[in-house]
A and B are shown apart, each in its own frame.
Chain A
Amino acid sequence: MQFFGGSEISPSPSVPTTTGNNAHMIYVFNRNGVCLLYREWNRPLHTLNPQQDHKLMFGLLFSLKSLTAKMDPTSAEKGNLGVPQLPGQGCSFHSFRTNTYKLSFMETPSGIKFILVTNPRSGDLRETLMYIYNLYVEYVAKNPLYTPGTPIRCELFNTALDQYVRSIP
């Protein structure tokens, strides 16, 4: 535990819960910004109403992806800032960490974005997100009753997701 001199304003990092649920919440967006899924397991503080919260999250990631691609020192060709990018173009942004949480991000070639917010001690969660994407394909994309582009309302997906997330270290 590190103590930075004099700063008592920042809240202490959250301790992993004893129930083993270290993930705080998950968002799933499609390429048009429709929030397909939002589930929370451990979120003590709500500041915005859900619609604003989803818009903020989508906007944040859109800007972050754009910014990270434009600041990439290894890529030669850069368009103007603000030009929307296809998934896969430019370097891919994975995660950011603060003292209270870590946000991990993954975008699939079809434009589905998975955002997982966990405790700050989590490692690289790319494989976790890949597994969740596989759950999405099995239980949502292949569900005859699901219309693409609408919010996900499948019991099987929710149960499988909850069970898997409980097992993340």
Chain B
Amino acid sequence: MGREVSESCIDSLLTEMVSTYCNRFYANKPELAARRIEAIGYQVGHQLSERYTMERPRFSDHLEAIKFICKDFWSELFKKQIDNLKTNHRGTFVLQDNHFRWLTRMSIDQSPENGASEEPSIMADNKAVQSMHLYFPCGIIRGALSNLGIPCAVSADISNLPACSFVVRIKA
């Protein structure tokens, strides 16, 4: 496995993908753009999990599979493991990454100098654009888990950058 790809290329490709889907293909339909980006992530996660579980035996239960995602899968993708895993033991898991690689360079616009009344809408706009970038990793997690036989729904939470939490809800 000697071939390598420049990380800047991948970062630029992902940025452009989100930007194209949001601004050109589905210009005024953010839900459709989000679903499309998530579907792309699903395919990627599906195939990556196939690759990274080649020599391993089957997972005994859901927790083992989630732990695989947190440790080995995340290390292969982002060169680090998930920092914090929480569960309610009833099918919901929260995976927290304190320094998510694809968000390290994203920074919120400063608050505008003209009038505090514009702030809430601009902040909401920023949050919307930032959350668009998270549909791809959510899709990756969902694709990987579904390939391991665990159907689920994944959402992301970025209340404090650059830390990022992914909430996985397993469908019973």
Give chain A's interface residues, CB within 8 Å of chain B: 138-139, 142-145, 153-158
For B129, list chain A residues within 8 Å (CB): 145
Given the known interface contacts A139-B107, A154-B109, A157-B107, the answer about A145 and B18 at a Cβ–Cβ threshold of 8 Å is no
A138 near B105 with CB under 8 A, answer: yes
Expressed in whole angstroms, the Cα–Cα distance for A139 and B18 within the complex equals: 18
User: CB within 8 A of A153: which of B15, B110, B133?
Assistant: B110
A155 near B105 with CB under 8 A, answer: no
B18 near A144 with CB under 8 A, answer: yes
Give chain B's interface residues, CB within 8 Å of chain A: 8, 11-12, 14-15, 18-19, 105-110, 126, 129-130, 133
B109 near A143 with CB under 8 A, answer: no
Expressed in whole angstroms, the Cα–Cα distance for A154 and B108 within the complex equals: 6
For A156, list chain B residues within 8 Å (CB): 105, 107
Expressed in whole angstroms, the Cα–Cα distance for A154 and B110 within the complex equals: 7
CB distance from B146 to the nearest CB of A (A): 27
A145 near B126 with CB under 8 A, answer: yes
A144 near B19 with CB under 8 A, answer: yes
A142 near B8 with CB under 8 A, answer: yes
With both beta carbons as reference points, the residue of chain B lying nearest to A146 in the complex is identified as B107
For B105, list chain A residues within 8 Å (CB): 138-139, 142-144, 156
Expressed in whole angstroms, the Cα–Cα distance for A153 and B107 within the complex equals: 9
For B11, list chain A residues within 8 Å (CB): 142
B106 near A143 with CB under 8 A, answer: yes
For A138, list chain B residues within 8 Å (CB): 105
Closest 8 CB pairs of A and B: A156-B107, A144-B15, A154-B107, A153-B109, A155-B107, A142-B105, A153-B110, A143-B105
